[in-house]
Amino acid sequence: MNTSLFRTFLTILYMFMPAGTAGAQSIEEARIVYAEGRFMKAADLAQVLDTSEGYALAANSLAIYGYYIAPDSEKEGLFKRAEKLARKASRLDAANPEAHLQLAHAMGRHAQVMGTLKALNEGYASQVRDAIQEALRLDPDMAAAHLSFAAWHAGAVSKGGLLARLLYGANEEDARAHFERALELAPQEKIVLFEYAFGLLSLDADHNREKARDLLKRGIQLPSKDAHDRIIHRKAVERLTALDGG
């Protein structure tokens, strides 16, 4: 087949490819870049797809980069961008649980840098909760959503106590229940073990010390699957060292 005919063949083939094939290749490329730890590049690649899945991945990449890597001066801008992209993801496909989960993720990180009083005044605590609940309504067995809801309860209780229970329905019992459900659904995920440990320590470091130490040790023994895993692995090792008095 000569070059001209070959190009014509490729053009016709592309026209009749199943919908989403090219996008699927692109989202996979973005996921590979994300796994390598090039979070800003992954966000750019995922965003240009103009799909719910792409915007959700972009929001997650920005939130992770902003929280763990970016200098303080850039964090709020990154979280605002992540929040905006997550909202696009949920508007494009309201039935995508990952979109709602990443909206909660972005809003939670944004609230951390804007200050407690401002975040409360703007309703971030209830909006984060509502986004996670929507993700769970759409996918009741979504381990990451259970983990996020557990962390939401634990964070609200540790910072707000009785007020958090009265205003938002946050409580330690639900935190533990959702941590346990996340662990049941994803026992081999480092992030689940580590976040469970961190959550317990935020609730009561003295009472939960041994349980948290066990969870951290179990998580550290698991292999790191991607760059995010490697980041939280280092954090877990630091926290375990601190618990052991190192």
The answer to whether the Cα torsion of 197, 201, 203, 205 is positive or negative is: positive
Domain range list for the chain:
23-114
pLDDT in tens, the chain (246 residues): 444 443 433 333 333 444 444 444 589 999 999 999 999 999 999 999 999 999 999 999 999 999 999 999 999 999 999 999 999 999 999 999 999 999 999 999 999 998 877 887 888 899 999 999 999 999 999 999 999 999 999 998 887 776 667 777 889 999 999 999 999 999 999 999 999 999 999 999 999 999 999 999 999 999 999 999 999 999 999 999 999 885
- 23-114 maps to which CATH number? 1.25.40
Give the pLDDT score at 63: 98
